[in-house]
Chain A
Amino acid sequence: MSIVVNLDVMLAKRKMKSKDLAAKIGITVSNLSLLKTGKARGIRFNTLEAICRELNCQPGDILEYRSDDEVHEND
């Protein structure tokens, strides 16, 4: 998919564990894992808002658009 989720990068920058973030934003660890691995089909605005609030960042810091060619090159 062309949308890349950089949640693990932001978590590392903020030195926060996935488990803690999941608890703070009120979703399960497995759902957060789906989001991190890019397996999720979509993200709700309220989830995105909660993540940005807890990580003190912008949606653009978490979500990034890359063309399919770029994604394949990185793979």
Chain B
Amino acid sequence: MLCQMIQNRVIKIALKISKLILGICVLAGVAFVGFVIHWHMSPKSYEAVEVSQVFKPGFGVNGFHWVLGKKASAQGLWLSDLSPLMIYWLLLRGLIFIVLSFLITQAFQRILVSIHSIETFHQNNVKQFKIIAQYGLIAFFFSFFNFSYIQGEFDINFHLATAPLLLTISSYVLAEVFREGNKLSEDQKLMI
């Protein structure tokens, strides 16, 4: 009984955290789209934005700094130095990671809701874990490389992102565990 209560509390906390992450993803997505629209309307507003780490591969986009005056680092570039193609690539990449984070969290949330309503080994959970694994593969693909094309110089970087790969493998394993659990649960239901 006590164990059940603790489990329920943990699931409730996990559900709240997943809702928070979903909210952050939505806000980040809106901010990204808002940035594109505003950048189109007034490109001069972004002249003081320095980019440094944005061409590194891996999950996410980082390295935008608002700088007043001198650049923070010697390798840094002004956002206005980048071609529209590069800016669109960085935004598209960022949006892909935001959307993937949203979809993965949403799938986890569905599993948590199912566990909360004591339908842990429902067939849908197997499907959700397989979906998470597929999103993990997409995240792995986009984390694997990044490129830059600035003033005629093309540079491509590769990186073996282990986190999305581990997510994919563990999700496939969990899908199999839940499939077996579903089979046992069905057997149990049909045992008179």
Q: Which residues of A contact B (CB under 8 A)?
A: 27, 31-32, 34-35, 39-44, 47
Contacts and interface: CB of A to CB of B under 8 A. Distances in A.
Interface of B: 186-187, 190-192
Contact of A47 (B187, B190, B192): B192
A35 B191 CA distance: 9
Contacts of A31: 192
Contacts of A43: 191-192
A41 B192 CA distance: 8
B159 to A, nearest CB: 50
A35 B190 CA distance: 9
A42 B189 CA distance: 10
Contacts of B187: 41-42
Nearest to A5: B192
B146 to A, nearest CB: 53
Contact of B190 (A27, A32, A42): A42
